[in-house]
Amino acid sequence: MRFLSSLLSLILLVGGAPAYAESVVRYGISLADIPLTSGQPDRGAGAYQFTGYTLYDPLVAWEMDVADRPGKLVPGLATKWEVDPADKKKWIFTLRDGVKFHDGSAFDADAVVWNLAKVLDDKAPQFDKRQSAQVKPRLPSVASWRKIDDKTVEITTKEVDSFFPYQMLWFLVSSPAQYETLGRDWDKFAASPSGTGPFKLDKLVPRERAELIKNADYWNKSRLPKTDRMVLIPMPEALSRTNALLAGQVDLIETPAPDVVPRLKQAGMTIVTNVTPHVWNYHLSMLPGSPWTDVRLRRALNLAVDRDAMLELLNGLGKPAIGQVDPSSPWFGTPSFKIKHDVAEAKRLVKEAGYSPEKPLKTTFVIAQGGTGQMLSLPMNEFLQESFKEIGIQVDFKVVELEALYTYWRKGAKDEMSAGLTANNIAYVTSDPLYAIIRFFHSGQVAPTGVNWGYYKNEKVDAILDEAKQTFDPKKQDELMAAAHGLIVDDAPLVWVVHDTNPHALSPKVKKFVQAQHWFQDLTTIGME
């Protein structure tokens, strides 16, 4: 009798259980490995979407659930931040109440202070050099920090810097309690991470996959994941990723190979693109002896580029660049030099400067053979080489690996390793005022401080940027950035070619995906039905 009753219970239990199928999204990502999971992801801005903003939160967040306009700074773990009117180097962050880490411990001011020391104080016991390496360059303004009370933290900057809150986008908060539980070992923490984010890490197979599961207790209910499980699969080869999507092995991929876009569309896949803070360019040297000290030649280069033809080469995966930022950006302004394809005008300017197709200007640019952000580096460079030749500028390329090109870039055009080179070709991230404008165009940002590679100097631009750093009204900040950008485009210290549009290819099964106008993307917006 007891056996029969048990059997009946079992049948009822099995038969009566509600049918629930876990929704799973499999995402083929372009990185060669899962980024660091202990707090600060490695592998650049594009990695934050995978193991940064999924597992963790910043104090100041980026609005990532809008596609039709640029996002803006929004409250994250801090509900508000403001500069101290008495001392504009001091920023007061008011922290969110009731937030818990995945391990159940409470988020508070102690956690924030502990995390700042984790990446900025090499004497702190919890200091992690790997996380520090990632975020220290992103927090150049921080001088010191202190807890005011359980819900308030004060951060002091080295100088007055109104753009400081943008730096806080990069700073993510890990759980001090979990670190203690795991024996104060960051490697163990990476395997069992604990943040406050909308996903928890369920499984990590190094170099092969990470499985994230929905954090149903997430504090921000509008950012609850639309899928129960998100499987991230590193697939560094574009063709392998594309084939995996076509074969149904994954549901969406980053950056499909441009030449297979027609095949993907034919198979019913959707290609999603959006304006992205990126610019593929030539950064020109303004040092004495460089031909680009002549603004006519700089403008001629910009006018020689047929950007529409370039987009055809990219199968539409890009947007023409007529400045450092896209015209839809509030920082674009109103440059008087209108960048377009005008070969006749370009030839006229080159002739005026003393050159012609018969008597060409000969020079050398250093370029990368390929790599992250460089799009189709060699074909694009060869295309432009022909365009420049047509107007009387003969460019030879010194081709190096991207990592080597970064070294050229950091050392500036004056360094002896750049002798004989008049431009470099690193594609730039242009996500905030510092990243888009200040680090390239303020004369104080030459090597080794910043990456004003070509030693560009315009006193008016310097003055505007200095004023912007002292201006705390966001609207006024935008106006100043736009004024600076207008002047910069008129000076044409770069040859702006295209903006990447961060293409994603989605299988028909993926019904929800909001692609923000940023490198930061919100994986919580991805859903199957």
Partner 1 sequence: MLAFTLNRLIYVTPVAIGVTVVCFLLVHITPGDPLTAILPADATLELQEQMKAAYGFDKPLPVQYALWFWKVLHGDLGNSIATGRPVATEVLRAVKNTLILATVATMIGFTFGTLFGFVAGYFRDSWLDKLASFISVLGVSVPHYWLGMVLVIVFAAQLGWLPPTGAGPDGSGDWRPDAAHLRYIILPAVTMSVIPMGVIARTVRALVGDILSQDFVEALRAKGMSEFGVFRHVVTNAAPTALAVMGLQLGYLLGGSILIETVFSWPGSGFLLNAAIFQRDLPLLQGTILILAMFFVMLNLAVDVLQTALDPRIKRG
Residues sharing a CB contact under 8 Å with residue 266, sequence separation 6 or more, in sequence order:
none
Taking the least distance from each CB to partner 1, the nearer of 14 and 419 is 419
C-beta of 130: minimal distance to partner 1 in Å? 6
Instruction: Work out whether 406 is an interface residue with partner 1 (CB under 8 A).
Output: yes
Select from 209, 389, 414, 512 the one that contacts partner 1 (CB under 8 A).
209
How would you write 474-495 as a 3-class SS string? HHHHHHHHHHHHHHHHHHCCEE
Instruction: Report, in Å, the least distance between residue 397 CB and partner 1.
Output: 17
Smallest distance from the beta carbon of 238 to partner 1, in angstroms? Answer: 12
By C-beta, is 42 or 228 nearer to partner 1? 42
Q: Residue 298 or residue 518: which is nearer to partner 1 going by CB?
A: 518
**Can residue 243 be called a binding residue for partner 1 (CB under 8 A)?**
yes
Burial 17-46 (b: 16+ CB within 10 A, else e): eeeeeeeebbbbbbbeebbbbbbbbbbebb
Under rule CB under 8 A, how many of the chain's residues touch partner 1?
Answer: 48
Of residues 40 and 94, the one with the C-beta less far from partner 1: 40
Binding residue for partner 1 (CB under 8 A) from 61, 139, 155, 235? 235
Q: Name 281's bridge partners.
A: 496
Closest CA to 304 of 391, 175, 191: 391
Amino acid in position 510: V
Q: DSSP state, 269?
A: P
Among 300, 339, 393, 451, binds partner 1 (CB under 8 A): 451
Contact 491, 298 (CB under 8 A): yes
Angle at 268 between CA 265 and CA 269, to 5 degrees: 65
Which of 102, 138, 223, 226: binder of partner 1 (CB under 8 A)?
A: 138
Task: Render the burial of 343-367: b for 16+ CB within 10 Å, e for the rest.
Answer: eeebbebbbebebeeeebbebebbb
DSSP single-letter state for residue 98: T
Residue in 12, 32, 143, 148 binding partner 1, rule: CB under 8 A: 32
Cβ proximity to partner 1, 127 vs 397, nearer residue: 127
Supply 432's token pair: 């905030």
The 8-class DSSP code of residue 387 comes to: H
Q: Between 234 and 454, whose beta carbon lies closer to partner 1?
A: 234
Q: Which of 69-77, 99-107, 130-138, 457-465 is the region at the interface with partner 1 (rule: CB under 8 A)?
A: 130-138
d(CA 183, CA 87): 40
The count of residues in the chain is 529
Query: Of 447, 487, 514, 528, which lies in the binding site for partner 1, with binding defined by CB under 8 A?
Result: 447
The tokens describing 30, both together, are 């372009």
Question: What minimum distance in Å lies between the beta carbon of 32 and partner 1?
Answer: 5
For residue 42, the minimal CB distance to partner 1 (Å) is 6
CB of 406 to partner 1, least distance (A): 5
In order of 49, 57, 388, 391, the CA distances from 494 in angstroms are: 29, 35, 14, 18
Residue choice 119, 246, 367, 461 for contact with partner 1 (CB under 8 A): 246
Q: According to the binding rule CB under 8 A, does residue 136 interact with partner 1?
A: yes
Q: Which of residues 414-443 bind partner 1 (CB under 8 A)?
A: 426, 439
Contact 400, 368 (CB under 8 A): yes
Contact between 312 and partner 1 per CB under 8 A: no
Q: Is 208 in the site for partner 1 (CB under 8 A)?
A: yes
Which position has the token pair 């009946």?
8
User: Minimum distance between the CB of residue 308 and partner 1, rounded to whole angstroms?
Assistant: 30
- Give 422's Cβ-side CA count (13 Å radius): 21
Binding residue for partner 1, selected from 244, 367, 421, 495, defined by CB under 8 A: 244
Q: Find the radius of gyration of the CA atoms of the chain.
A: 25
Q: Which residues contact partner 1 by CB under 8 A?
A: 32-33, 36, 42, 44, 129-130, 133-134, 136-138, 186-187, 190, 205-209, 233-237, 239-240, 242-244, 246-249, 401, 403-404, 406-407, 409-411, 426, 439, 447-449, 451
